[in-house]
Homo-oligomer: A and B are copies of this chain.
């Protein structure tokens, strides 16, 4: 597949940021994307192309090295002229000030120590640096961690909880897609110790892009279109990550039962969460705690009574919508949260972290409303 651009093309008119103009480029943050052949990598490119403070200097993919990015993703035709490169850890520090790592799980941890020597700042989108305890890591990932000494140094990149340490972090462990929506839905309750930490039940529904760009029978159109199923119904690898963060918020060990499902849509996660209040509070009060907790948060939208979060209302944005319902018959609080798994659940949150790390406006590059329908 080889496309041609009209002479002069899109570039001449500025769809591509004018990197040729030395004066502007000088001030831009040089970023690299390592392993950009999947959907999170593509989403990073899409969002960074519109980010006014950033210049993408390097995009690597072992699989596509030498190919134009717009050849692999024709939707980027006219927006980017870079080629994929093979990863050269030594060159990265020269070319970049910050790298986003969008590699498969277990691939980042071997690489990060090499990159770190060069004082590069790193936002890792894999699961490799999210767990603090190497033993928990070993247990859930069937694998000894390659650099356990870095686990405590890495900062868990959920801005609503860890904004100050993210600011100064060298390594940010960008949260998983399920953990993001679940932790945000529960943080105010756990922080205030309002609920029983031993009873947290999470029923999640994810679009198919959550499985990545892997080519497998299970994710073929004809196999998952018009269909819904659960998967990994008791031991999904996001559990220790969720429990670590919720325990930390609660100040006590928290236990979560988690059941993910695959829904026939491209993007979006909806979490339906069931918890037991220790004491019965009017729903209105609980909502006010949420409002206080999130009052300065640019991407949290609390939905009012009767408003039901819908994945389509957040798709393409970095928003997390949260709604609360009181089931008085069963004395259960039901919390529903929705995010776009590839934005707030991955690449958008990574950019939000970058914005914090470099003192850019936190919403810079993330200010596009949902496309609907």
Contact = CB atoms under 8 A, between A and B. Distances in A.
Interface of A: 1-10, 12-15, 39, 42-43, 45-46, 49-50, 73-79, 201, 203, 205, 207-209, 213, 215-217, 219-231, 233-234, 239, 255-257, 259, 261, 263-268, 270, 272, 274, 287, 291-292, 294-298, 300-316, 319, 321, 325-330, 332, 334, 336, 338, 361-363, 367-373
A22 to B, nearest CB: 20
Nearest to A298: B13
Nearest to A325: B233
B228 A311 contact: yes
A304 B270 contact: no
A202 to B, nearest CB: 10
**Quick one: copies of this chain in the complex?**
4
A312 B2 contact: no
B226 A312 contact: yes
A14 B310 contact: no
B215 A313 contact: no
A307 B2 contact: yes
A43 B18 CA distance: 27
A355 to B, nearest CB: 11
A300 B224 CA distance: 23
A17 to B, nearest CB: 9
Given A77-B301, A227-B310, 4 more contacts: A4-B303, A73-B372, A222-B266, A233-B308
A14 B361 contact: yes
Contact of A261 (B45, B205, B294, B295): B205
A2 B373 contact: no
13 contacts: A2-B307, A15-B298, A42-B372, A45-B369, A75-B313, A77-B301, A78-B319, A225-B225, A227-B312, A233-B327, A233-B334, A234-B329, A259-B334
B75 A370 contact: yes
A74 B326 CA distance: 22
B369 A75 contact: yes
A310 B220 contact: no
A168 to B, nearest CB: 21
Contact of A369 (B4, B46, B325): B46
Contacts of A75: 312-314, 369-370, 372
B362 A13 contact: yes
A259 B306 CA distance: 14
A266 B308 contact: no
Contacts of A2: 304-307
Contacts of A257: 274, 327, 329-330, 332, 334
A5 B301 contact: yes
A369 to B, nearest CB: 5
A222 B373 contact: yes
A295 B75 CA distance: 19
Given A205-B205, A257-B332, A301 B268 contact: no
